[in-house]
């Protein structure tokens, strides 16, 4: 875990894991924390931020991240089979890594959500391996 992420944020994740099985916490220039509770253990993975370059507009970057996460989740077998509670931690991390792309695109756009966002930005068939 990078030093930029405070122990208070980690403590909050642990508390929230009592209420929520999954957490995706965006940390701006510090990336994303993916948190998943499985049985009695809590898994935390830090995904570093992508380099944004020149930022044009911060409005909509979080919306782009969440929308991308939901779109990618909707393509998984776990949604199709109504077994989202069984999604592996690695799949959540994969989805979060890919969703950073949508955030970066929106940060570089004068619009809150980049008009360049399409399913093609992931360079795959938009399915997450199980």
Residue-wise pLDDT for 24-82, tens only, equals 999 988 899 999 998 889 999 999 988 878 888 888 889 999 999 998 888 888 887 87
CA 114 to chain centre: 17
* Residue 2 falls inside a structural domain: no
Q: Which domain holds residue 61?
A: 7-122
Name the domain count of the chain.
1
CA 65 to chain centre: 6
- Could you report the per-residue pLDDT of 91-128, keeping only the tens digit for each? 999 999 999 989 999 999 998 888 888 877 776 543 44
* Residue 46 falls inside a structural domain: yes
Among candidate residues 47, 41, 48, 49, the one with its CA nearest the CA of residue 14: 41
* Residue 1 falls inside a structural domain: no
The CATH number of residue 71's host domain is 3.40.1190.20
**To which H or E segment does residue 113 belong?**
none
* Residue 128 falls inside a structural domain: no
From the number of C-beta atoms within 10 Å of its C-beta (0-12, 13-18, 19+), residue 64 rates as buried
pLDDT value of residue 77: 83
């Amino acid at each position: 875990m990078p030093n930029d992420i405070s122990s208070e944020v980690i403590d909050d994740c642990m508390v929230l894991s009592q209420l929520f099985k999954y957490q995706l916490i965006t940390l701006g220039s510090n990336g994303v924390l993916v948190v998943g509770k499985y049985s009695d253990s809590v898994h935390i993975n830090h995904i570093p931020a992508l380099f944004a370059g020149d930022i044009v507009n911060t409005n909509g970057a979080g919306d782009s991240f969440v929308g991308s996460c939901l779109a990618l989740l909707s393509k998984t077998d776990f949604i199709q089979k109504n077994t989202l509670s069984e999604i592996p931690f690695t799949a959540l991390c994969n989805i979060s890594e890919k969703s950073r792309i949508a955030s970066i695109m929106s940060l570089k756009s004068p619009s809150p959500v980049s008009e360049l966002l399409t399913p093609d930005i992931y360079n795959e068939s938009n399915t997450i391996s199980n």
